Copies of this chain bind each other. A is one copy, B any other.
Amino acid sequence: MSPVRVLLADDEHLIRGALAALLALEDDLLVVAEAASGPEALAMARAHRPDVAVLDLQMPGADGVSVATSLRAELPDCRTMIVTSHGRPGHLKRALAAGVRAFAPKTVSAQRLAELIRTVHAGGRYVDPELAADAISAGDSPLTAREAEVLELAGDGAPIAEIAERASLSQGTVRNYLSSAATKLGAENRHTAVRLARERGWV
């Protein structure tokens, strides 16, 4: 049986190299390409057509989820999985929506990762139980689309006037949205609201 062709994408050279070395020990896995950024990962995937793409969540250029989205469109036969350092519930949701087959934290062992690659290649799925529990307990976002959008624009502490301009809304509307979002999140002001929404993956 031919080995599983794997693409590794992670901007941390240290980890990517080490990972490649460890996976090379498994004789049914073959690392055919490595990438250090989102765009590079896409280019490598086009060139080498891997069976499974192992993507880090945070990479320069484009993050793992957007790479997965592009891959799904361009190379439907390529299964994708995300490996990440800090998994927040929102990331998991976005990843699953993008058709990612597995989502695991970097606290897993290399042995386990190799198993996951095989599972994913065989068509299986996997989600880290702890992250899944977090995502479920976080529940669905109570925010409407616009509330979330405005909250996101408020992310870097910009004043209302700037948010209104960037969202092409009136200042009053922005304040109303922020107020209702803060109420829904149980926050005292929009800044803590932003923080809470981020923690729960709602922005």
Contacts and interface: CB of A to CB of B under 8 A. Distances in A.
Interface of A: 11-15, 17-19, 21-22, 36, 83, 85, 105-110, 113, 156-159, 187-189, 191-192, 194-195
Contacts of A156: 192, 195
B188 A18 contact: no
B110 A14 contact: yes
Contact of A18 (B19, B85, B158, B194): B19
Contacts of A18: 15, 18-19, 21-22, 110
Contact of A21 (B15, B21, B106): B21
A36 B158 CA distance: 38
Q: What is the copy number of this chain in the assembly?
A: 2
Nearest to A86: B58
A8 to B, nearest CB: 11
A110 B13 CA distance: 8
B157 A12 contact: no
A129 to B, nearest CB: 15
A13 B158 CA distance: 39
Nearest to A105: B12
Nearest to A19: B18
Contact of A14 (B19, B21, B192, B195): B19
A110 to B, nearest CB: 5
Given A21-B21, A22-B21, A85-B85, A189 B15 contact: no
A166 B105 CA distance: 35
A107 B157 contact: no
A108 B36 CA distance: 12
B192 A157 contact: yes
Given A21-B22, A22-B21, A191-B191, A83 B158 contact: no
Contact of A106 (B12, B113, B194, B195): B12
